[in-house]
Amino acid sequence: MKKIRFTKMHGAGNDFVLVDDRDGSFPERGSLIAALAADHTGISCEGVILLRRSERADFRMTFYNPDGTEAELCGNGARCAAAFAKRVGAVKSGSMTFETGAGLVDAEIVDEGLVKVWMPEPRNRQYGMTAPGAGGVSVAGDYLVVGVPHFIVPVGNVAKVDVATEGRALRLSSAFAPNGTNVDFVQFIPPNKAILRTYERGVEAESGACGTGAVSTAVAGVEAHGMSLPMHVRSSQGYDLVIEGDYRQSQGTGFTLTGPVRLVFEGEIDLDLLDARNGFDLFDIAVTHVRGDHVHRQRQVMLDVQRCADRAFNLRRHVCLLSLQAVSVGNRACVLRNVLGREARVQRGFSGQHDGNADDLIGIVLRGFLDRLGNLAELLHAELGRIVGDERKRRTVLRAGCADGGDRHREQHRQRKKHGQELLGMISHEIHSFS
């Protein structure tokens, strides 16, 4: 039995499970973390944070989304990690530096229950861009990365926004492929206030608060929407976050995030009792209650199937995004054909002669492109089917206890996956070449 101590905390309504893993004993598996974070069968949280040793800072913060994927940084999670580190004795003073996936972060415990962190410098700013949202409608906003990517959408009344529908459409939009983005709906209140609701990548729903989203809101607000520092951003849970920084030569720098941190409760959990089936939506797994080695083999099979399900989902998501790009390319091609057709008609009007070579050439190019794209899509669809079939066979072999057979199916799966990735690359090359 693997029992661990944990602490549940929240930062401005953003809740996390924190584990002191300085001894490195926590079993780092995405399916286990997803089970730990699950709403009804786990502890329930918007992120799992492991506190680990670091060779170049006071400690390392490893952050996981509730779906089990690792993220570079979480602003409110970083503030909770700082308070947790002081609580468990990982740091002696209220000032500290810790390692994250986005680099080193400085933090300070300002007061009891109030923590400030210095955020990574904003980058990849794209103000005033548009992206296809729900129903294909173009949505204007501001894109930037503050540790993790955010798309800021200014709105008149944030309370009326359908965050689940609009947020998910933008989070999966082809404009942010292949990794997607967090989506922040913001109501600016001049001169220095804002109300924020965030559809969070990895949570795949509206989150209680978002620290990196609040900082991204402040950066875009000051640089593109006439707001001023310090900015006060209110989360959907009603907590206020304060973002400070320097604004020079039309650009901000040195941004900090300050807000409340609260201890919710502490406890102990047996990881072996967690329902590791959370998130298994592609396969119907029959669970037999047996003892000893069979239990271990059964768990391993379930984890293998989960990994296959994750890979299949990612491949299908890439296909969907590439399909959207193909539709966009097709639309542009139709527009191009119409424009060239008008030009040809104008030229015929001047010369009094008809030359169909231009129209014929465009038709040939379009037909060739669509034929190639269709053939590749059919090949990829078939390959996905074979991947799922191979994994089902491997599951059966593993249940029967035949390790060699499992290895053979694993090698087949690797070959299938490689072929699928090659097909994805060919489809992407076709689309971008035509663009």
> Residue 49's beta-bridge partner residues?
18, 63
- Of 45, 80, 210, 308, the catalytic one is 210
Angle at CA of residue 70, ends 321 and 319, nearest 5° = 15
Q: Is the peptide bond before 149 cis (omega within 30 degrees of 0)?
A: no
Please report the sign of the dihedral spanned by the C-alpha atoms of residue 375, residue 377, residue 379, residue 385.
negative
- For residues 141 and 151, is the Cβ–Cβ distance under 8 A? yes
Cα–Cα distance measured from residue 389 to residue 70, given in angstroms and rounded to the nearest whole number:
28
Query: For residue 435, which of 322, 292, 343 has the smallest C-alpha distance?
Result: 322
Cα–Cα distance measured from residue 265 to residue 159, given in angstroms and rounded to the nearest whole number:
31
3-state secondary structure (DSSP) of residue 50: strand
- For residues 142 and 170, is the Cβ–Cβ distance under 8 A? no
Query: Identity (one letter) of the amino acid at 409?
Result: H
Q: How far apart are the first and last CA of the chain?
A: 56
Annotated active-site residue 74? The verdict is: yes
65 phi and psi angles, rounded to 5 deg: -70, 160
Query: Identity (one letter) of the amino acid at 309?
Result: A
Residue 166 DSSP class:
H
44 phi and psi angles, rounded to 5 deg: 80, 115
- Of 45, 74, 80, 308, the catalytic one is 74
Which amino acids are annotated catalytic?
A: 74, 210
